[in-house]
Structure 1
């Protein structure tokens, strides 16, 4: 039985996958190290798959690790979150958020509406996961879950890491009228409408936070000028 665990070592988060004659799919380059009788399979893409990957900028090959043992994925100062997909459920993930998934999960490209793709900061293509099984996603910091029940979420910026596939995503003006937009200081906002969940990362990227802290400490030391 496959088990996925998120471990914390000092400030780093690491994904540990326990395989018992099982298989797991990961993002290209996600493997850190593995122990046991595990083999990596990388199936060559078809011509159409290769062209689709070039257009969407999705990974050409997502390797599959099969066997028995322990697989560890690249650590991060950010966060990992596990989404448990139920049958028939779909999620749209931010670019670069996908890390790994069970074999019952389909990983494909999702195309946003042209206007949303241009102005949202999310791009034309994102990653769609569907099917059934666990999905590991990465984020800059801790995620907050926003539950929508036939309602609307407005986000100023591209802080949404993942959203339920049935939600309607588009770009809108923050206020009605040009004058209101100018006076409010807000321009375009991302909106999510319908029933489902949105995972947002309100925290500053931890790598930047730690770098700023270390820089401040270094400058405060005597003789650092």
Structure 2
């Protein structure tokens, strides 16, 4: 059985030409292969790809180092920064060098209230970047406290600067303690992990209490841990004893924890206080 190699028609036996198209036939020609057109395949459905995440914000997690330097009779806090940030009291920056920026945000209503009842300013600017910062000098003493997930209560005006891992808040004293202690109803509370700079009139001494009691005649207790109970008491039991002993109201710290006291001002603060008292007396005599 033969087929036309041109049109595919079945040939008669022995035919040399195709009776359909007239094409000459070669012996044993195979029928042409008919190619059927395949419909184009549908494109694959699109695969959903989530958009790439936004680039992470610049992290301020570098190194920071606090140190205290003495220049003439003054003490200064030096802050060395490497891509990091810290917080300080308003106006505490003295001078700085490097790629550094200062930012001060509007405080909350609670922050404004806190500033009214403590000696801490409501605006606590942050300084960020890389460089060196010197804070305002003082005749007093600067102490670097290293908190390890702790909470401390600070005397009014003692807070100076801190790392960003430290939260600065408000501590409320008992009514009677706030009225007669000299500390006031509200004090500054610092908590967290990081370094805190406190300022005092003299060098600090650390007193450890273990279910014990510390009695202080004056407001030179600069800081205490939150576990210490603070009250105000009479120095002696009876009214006559208080009058004859010369001791009136004293601050009492009880419990287990630590208390930082500055029992004596340094010589520079003592000299300034002495000169200040003379100046006030002169002005009083002049105005009288």
Task: Please confirm whether the aligned pair reaches a TM-score higher than 0.5, indicating the same fold.
Answer: yes
In structure 2, how many angstroms separate the alpha carbons of the residues matched to 1:62 and 1:72? 16
1:203 corresponds to 2:285: no
2:235 maps to: 174
2:182 maps to: 121
1:64 corresponds to 2:126: yes
SS at match of 1:121: coil
Give how far 1:203 is off: 1.2
1:76 maps to: 138
Alpha carbons of structure 1 residues 48 and 126: separation in structure 2 relative to 1, 3 Å: closer
* Range moving further from structure 2, 41-50 or 97-106: 41-50
Give how far 1:208 is off: 4.5
In structure 2, how many angstroms separate the alpha carbons of the residues matched to 1:47 and 1:176? 43
* Range moving further from structure 2, 54-63 or 193-202: 54-63
Residue by residue over 1:82-139, the C-alpha shift from the partner in whole angstroms, topping out at 9 and shown as x without a partner, is 111011x110111110000000000011111111111001111111000110000000
Instruction: Check whether the contact 1:78–1:206 (CA below 8 A) recurs between aligned residues.
Output: no
Structure 2: gaps spanning 5 or more residues: 1-62, 279-288
Task: Count residues with an aligned counterpart.
Answer: 215
Alpha carbons of structure 1 residues 2 and 118: separation in structure 2 relative to 1, 3 Å: same
1:110 maps to: 171
**Partner of residue 90 from structure 1, selected from 137, 140, 151:** 151
Give how far 1:210 is off: 2.3
Larger radius of gyration: 2
Give how far 1:207 is off: 4.3
Alpha carbons of structure 1 residues 126 and 205: separation in structure 2 relative to 1, 3 Å: farther
In structure 1, how many angstroms separate the alpha carbons of the residues matched to 2:171 and 2:180? 17
1:21 corresponds to 2:83: yes
Give how far 1:29 is off: 1.2
Structure 1: gaps spanning 5 or more residues: 217-225
Give how far 1:170 is off: 0.5
Instruction: Check whether the contact 2:154–2:223 (CA below 8 A) recurs between aligned residues.
Output: yes
1:50 maps to: 112
- Give the number of the structure whose residues are more often strand, by fraction: 1
SS at match of 2:270: helix
Instruction: Check whether the contact 1:162–1:198 (CA below 8 A) recurs between aligned residues.
Output: yes
In structure 1, how many angstroms separate the alpha carbons of the residues matched to 2:76 and 2:120? 23
1:134 corresponds to 2:195: yes
In structure 2, how many angstroms separate the alpha carbons of the residues matched to 1:185 and 1:135? 37
Give how far 1:26 is off: 0.3
SS at match of 2:202: coil
Give how far 1:33 is off: 0.7
Give how far 1:49 is off: 3.7
In structure 1, how many angstroms separate the alpha carbons of the residues matched to 2:117 and 2:264? 31
Alpha carbons of structure 1 residues 214 and 121: separation in structure 2 relative to 1, 3 Å: closer
1:4 maps to: 66
Give how far 1:190 is off: 0.2
Residue by residue over 1:34-78, the C-alpha shift from the partner in whole angstroms, topping out at 9 and shown as x without a partner, is 110110111112345434543556421100000000011011111
Say what the alpha-carbon RMSD is for the aligned residues.
2.0
SS at match of 2:212: strand
2:29 maps to: none
